[in-house]
Amino acid sequence: MNYSNKNNLFTAHCHKYGILPNGELFDMNSIKTRRNNNISIFGASGAGKTRSFVIPNILSAVNSYIVSDPKGNLYTRYADLMRKNGYKVIHIDLIRPECSDRYNPLCYVHNSDDACKLATQIVNLGYGGGRNTSDPFWDRAAELLLKSLIGLVMENCYEVLTSINSISELLTKIDFEDEDTFALNNSELNKIFVRHAARYQRMFENSWAYDQYLKFKATPPRTLACIIITIQAMLGPFASKGLKSMTSGFNTIDFKTIGQEKTIVFLGISDTDRSKDLLANIFYSQAMNELCNYADYECKDSRLPVPVRFILDDFGTNCRIHVFENMISNIRSRDISATLILQSEAQLKQGYGESSHTIIDNCDTIVYMGGNDVETARMISERCNQPLQKILNMPIGTNWIFRRGEQPKHSETVDLSAYRIIEKGYREKTG
């Protein structure tokens, strides 16, 4: 079905269709189609990925959306329009965090499993979203320390604020006497843990946070100092004034409600400044985990009342979702889907390693909008049984679309100008 027909202005909105870059609609009822709604879009910069796919699908207004917004333009242009169409709009702005809604990752640490997930993710992503070391000893030691500190917040230690930055500040409560001596036992941090463990045992049972801390203390002294400095560097961006304010105290976002009522979340993340990638990656991971848990334990048939689409630009670099290669295999049954926007297969492999093949294999729709990467072109060449040179030289403004169970289609890419009637129609409909 072609969406450019003026008579079908609200077809997508009324019948829950998604829009492909060639102007066709696809049914998003995954039970009916027996396909998932995961989409991989490959295309060079300027190929029209945002204009021909992201914007039209947001304006179709058929689901809840979590949208990466690398330049902040989508929020600026479409937030009011989505509000008029009945959407709750949330803006998590990592470009200008002082203007953002509040998001505190520690509010989603409900138990020791959540604490372990968050600690592992911080260590695995390291500096600005890139893995710091391949040495498992350093990783496990750093995780133990982070687990213990996050555990203090989880167990409501009154001496610790519910803030990522407060965890970083706890590390400053350790004295370094010289390069060979590490005064951990006499440090203020040790005293905080001892006091907390005593209070917690009187009220509940043994403190899980204190148990992790005792395991960490067994690390050799000189190694302890290096690990603490490394973690402080990882958490350094959270010390900025804007992020302190944004990630402290209460949340203005509840991930469960995204699956309950029509909501759009714009995540503003700079495409030139990588320092805040860690927080963006934590956000995506927690959102997907919370939505999956809500569907599994609180929703009929384990399906969200309102389906949620993740539209993730720059997925291979700043949209890292922890163990996403496992999640994408299972989110269909919860009415969650992901659109992964990339420049090349190499970009995906850089972010996810060999798991990149698993991720692509779990996308029942693949869109190729041209580019210079030979390996990506070779993948497309094999899928459509066309010569590699033809794929590399395909005309600008065209695309290949592959849907499981259908023949590949080579079509012209429909520019956003063909969809301007959608925006005009929404404005007329909502006044």
Confidence of residue 128 (pLDDT cuts 50, 70, 90): very low
**Separation of alpha carbons 154 and 148, rounded Å:** 10
∠ Cα 200 196 171 (to 5°): 145
Please report the pLDDT score of residue 9 as a whole number: 38
pLDDT higher than 90, residue 262:
yes
What is the predicted pLDDT for the residue at 378?
96
**For residue 53, pLDDT beyond 70:** yes
Give me the pLDDT at residue 394, please: 94
pLDDT of residue 177: 56
Of the pLDDT bands very low, low, confident and very high (cuts 50, 70, 90), residue 217 is confident
Q: Alpha-carbon dihedral of residues 227, 348, 289, 104, nearest 10 degrees?
A: 50
Task: Return d(Cα 44, Cα 141) in angstroms, integer.
Answer: 41
Helix residue ranges, H only, 218-344:
221-234, 241-246, 255-258, 277-298, 324-327
Output the six-digit token pair for 7: 């008579």
At residue 374, does pLDDT exceed 70? yes
Looking at residue 55, what is its pLDDT?
A: 92
Confidence of residue 350 (pLDDT cuts 50, 70, 90): confident
The pLDDT tens digits of the residues spanning 305-324 come to 999 999 999 898 777 788 89
62, 53, 54: which is closest to 24 by C-alpha?
53
pLDDT class of 126 with cuts at 50, 70, 90: low
Identify the pLDDT of residue 285: 92
Q: Which of 67, 65, 62 is nearest to 10 (CA)?
A: 62
Please give the backbone phi and psi of residue 35, each rounded to the nearest 5 degrees, phi first. Answer: -125, 150
Instruction: State how far the alpha carbon of 230 is from the alpha carbons of 126, 127, 141, 227, in Å.
Output: 9, 9, 11, 5
Residues sharing a CB contact under 8 Å with residue 410, sequence separation 6 or more, in sequence order:
384, 394, 398, 399, 400
214 band by pLDDT with thresholds 50, 70 and 90: very high
Query: Contact 332/7 with Cβ under 8 angstroms?
Result: no
What pLDDT does residue 239 have?
Answer: 83
The mean per-residue pLDDT over the stretch 357-382 comes to 95
CATH 3.40.50.300 residue spans of the chain:
6-87+262-430
Q: Output the pLDDT for position 368.
A: 97
**Cα(426)–Cα(153) distance, rounded to whole angstroms?**
45
d(CA 266, CA 91) in angstroms, rounded, equals 5
The band of 417, judged by pLDDT with boundaries at 50, 70 and 90, is low
* Domain 6-87+262-430: CATH architecture, name and number where available: 3-Layer(aba) Sandwich (3.40)
DSSP annotation string for 379-394 = HHHHHHT--HHHHHTP
**Alpha helices, DSSP H, located in 334-396:** 345-352, 355-361, 374-384, 388-392
For the chain, the average pLDDT equals 86
- pLDDT greater than 90 at residue 379: yes
**pLDDT of amino acid 407:** 96
Coil, strand, or helix at residue 213? helix
Tokens linked to 424: 């005009």
pLDDT score for 354: 86
- Residue 428 pLDDT: 45
- Which residue type, as a one-letter code, is found at position 247? T
Structure confidence at residue 426 (pLDDT):
44
Residue 182: pLDDT above 70? no
**Whole-model pTM?**
0.89
CB 81 within 8 A of CB 425: no
Q: Which of 147-161, 219-233, 278-292, 318-332 has the lowest mean pLDDT?
A: 219-233
Q: Which long-range contacts (CB under 8 A, 24 or more apart) does 115-118 make?
A: 115/147, 115/150, 115/151, 115/154, 115/208, 116/143, 116/147, 117/285, 117/289, 117/322, 118/146, 118/150, 118/282
- State yes or no: pLDDT of 164 exceeds 90: no
